[in-house]
Amino acid sequence: MPPPPHSRQDVVPPTPPIPLADLLALPDLGLRQVAGPSAAEEDIRVQWVHTSEMEDPFPYLLGGELLLTAGVHFASAAGAGAYLDRYVARTVEAGAAALGFGLAPVHDETPRALIAACDRHGLPLVEVPPPTPFTAVARAVWQAMGEARIRELRHVTEAQQALASAAARPDPVPSVLRRLAGRLGAWAALMAPDGSELYAAGTAPDPEVRAAAARLARVVRPAPDAHAPSSATDTHAGTRLSAYALAGGAPSERPALVLAAGRPDPGDHAVANVAAVLLSLLTGPHLGSAEAGRSAALVRLLLGAAAEEVAPLLGPESQWTVVHARRRGGPAGPLAAAALGAALGTALLAPGDGVVRLLLPAGREVTAQPGWALGVSAPVAVSALTTGDGQAAGALRRAIATRVPLVAQRGAGPGMTGLVAPDDARARAAELLAPVADSPALVETVRTWIGLHGSWDRTAVALEVHRNTVRQRIARAAALLEADLDDPDVRMELWFALRWL
């Protein structure tokens, strides 16, 4: 017989299903399971209660029911074994969660053929004792569903508040993921289109599960001119996987939120959707070539233009921190740079030449970020952003050379450099460094080598070249400058010149 006009798969109950084991545990009902898979071990859940004495219940079930019957039509059936086998098979085909058989007044005991059929077809069979009316069973199910609904709403509401609070932190993206993982008892990750994990929180599953999560993330990321679902689920090695599409930017640039958990609780899907919306808002403004281009242009203006040109944008009294960042293990694409900007709480960023440059208000704390090396300047005024840019670059070189996640420039004020007129200092720097000015590699090698106190190995690490290359470049620079670079006075003068160049 064909299914009814409605689609069983599309019908969702208004309240969360309840475990059959919870019904069996209610002493007032006195229910007892006598056949089929164990309700506790299989986590069988009931979505509805339906009473029927029809010979074929299939057309009247939606799926997920506890079907209650007194077996009125069982006794009159010819060939009870074959009849009951077909009855149970049709009940399973309709998607019922379990069969409840009422003892008395028709049957004093559960028919053996019914027990055998339920065992054979894997349908839980529950005896309802004579003192318990079917309406009491239905009332207990609805009451339990109402309580579960209240718990679910409380769970979702508290999680929404916690996620919103996390999104307001200085490091919103990692904070949202940490809070989400904690609330759901799951591993949560933000995955780039290439399958790499931009940020993750919670206990990481084994590599096979993580690879399966990366594959699932591709399901919710649409190809050009193609449609993709907003979420998808899968199970791998007993782990429940979920993926949620993030909005904003071009489809090929969108990250995806993935979750790996054990048994999900009611409301987890709603909580994950809230997190996906928040992460979309946090990362969306940084995605897409148009927004990235505008941010990059603004940052380059701020770091390279004259102070009087940019002061109206930020305010002449503003104090700012400049950050240079390099991703460990490879170059940073626009998506990784956007996620870093969101983690540090700024939209002012410009990726390029393997280094991401960012601007943050001076009062905002800069913390180490997984997978990145960061160099942080001291707070500087708008008029000294170029100085802050140089400080951040030097701090990043030290971070890379010493293999630490973050190096910050300490101290405030202009120091000794403030005693020299800027125009005179720049003119002297250009004159002193003129012999090497046409070789950026030599200038950068000298700058890094002096900044790292003449260490060949650390300079080689910072510049990602062989130490012999460093030696050759320093010797070449010394020859062109006609200077003894082992002399501390010469190094000091060169250092000031390099800062003003």
How does pLDDT run across 241-259, given as a tens digit for each residue? 999 988 765 556 678 899 9
pLDDT band at residue 161 using 50, 70 and 90 as cut-offs: confident
223, 298 Cβ separation under 8 angstroms: no
Q: Who has greater pLDDT, 285 or 474?
A: 474
Question: Is residue 104 domain-resident?
Answer: yes
Residue 241 in tokens: 């996987």
Report which listed range, 82-91, 104-113, 195-204, 309-318, is most confident. Answer: 82-91
Query: Which residue, chain included where needed, has tokens 């017989």?
Result: 1
65-69 and 98-102 as β-strands: parallel, antiparallel, unpaired? parallel
Question: Which H or E element spans position 142?
Answer: helix 134-167
CATH number of residue 175's parent domain:
3.30.450.40
Residue 429 CA to residue 195 CA, distance in Å, equals 47
- Kindly give the pairing relationship between strand 98-102 and strand 45-46: unpaired
pLDDT band at 345 (very low <50, low <70, confident <90, very high): confident
Residues 380 and 471 in one domain: no
Which CATH number do you get for residue 24? 3.40.1390.20
Give the residue from 427, 424, 339, 348 showing the smallest Cα distance to 388.
348
276 and 305 share one domain: no
Distance of alpha carbon 232 from alpha carbon 141, whole angstroms? 30
Measured CA to CA in angstroms, residue 305 lies from 385, 391, 430 at distances of 9, 17, 19
Query: Is 115 contained in some domain?
Result: yes
The single residue listed with the structure tokens 């932190």 is: 169
Residue 456 lies in a domain: yes
CB neighbour class for 3 (10 Å; exposed up to 12, middle 13-18, buried from 19): middle
Beta strands 319-327 and 125-128, pairing class: unpaired
Question: What is the three-class DSSP state of 190?
Answer: strand
Q: What percent of the chain has pLDDT over 70?
A: 82
Q: Which amino acid is at 334?
A: P
Q: What CATH number did the domain enclosing 465 receive?
A: 1.10.10.2840
Average pLDDT of the chain is 81
Does residue 403 carry a pLDDT above 80? yes
pLDDT per residue as tens digits for the range 422-434: 666 677 777 888 8
Q: 20 pLDDT band (50/70/90 cuts)?
A: very high
pLDDT at 280 exceeding the cut of 90: no
- Do 238 and 306 sit in the same domain of this protein? no
Name which of 150-164, 287-301, 420-434, 442-456 the model is least confident about: 287-301
Neighbour count for residue 304 (Cβ, 10 Å):
12
Report, as an integer, the average pLDDT of 465-475.
Answer: 88
Residues 103 and 174 in one domain: no
CA atoms within 13 A on the CB side of 253: 21
Domain limit, last residue, from 251, 284, 317 = 284
Structural domain total, the chain: 4
- Report in angstroms the alpha-carbon separations of 491 from 233, 454, 501: 61, 10, 15
* pTM (2 d.p.): 0.50
Residue 147 lies in a domain: no
Residue 145 lies in a domain: no
If asked whether residues 396 and 479 sit together in one domain, one would say no
Three-class SS of residue 56?
coil
Rg of the chain in Å (alpha carbons): 34
Position 7 scores a pLDDT of: 44
Residue 128 sits in which domain range? 8-132
Q: Is residue 3 part of a domain?
A: no
Residue 193: which pLDDT band, with cuts at 50, 70 and 90?
Answer: confident
Classify residue 138: in a domain, yes or no: no
Residue 84 has pLDDT above 90, yes or no: yes
Strands 239-245, 45-46: parallel, antiparallel or unpaired by DSSP?
unpaired
Residue finishing a domain among 284, 308, 340 = 284
Are 438 and 398 within 8 A, CB to CB? no
- Nearest Cα neighbor of 126 from 45, 77, 67 is 67
Who's near 14: CB < 8 A, 6+ residues apart?
Answer: none
Residue 313 has pLDDT above 70, yes or no: no
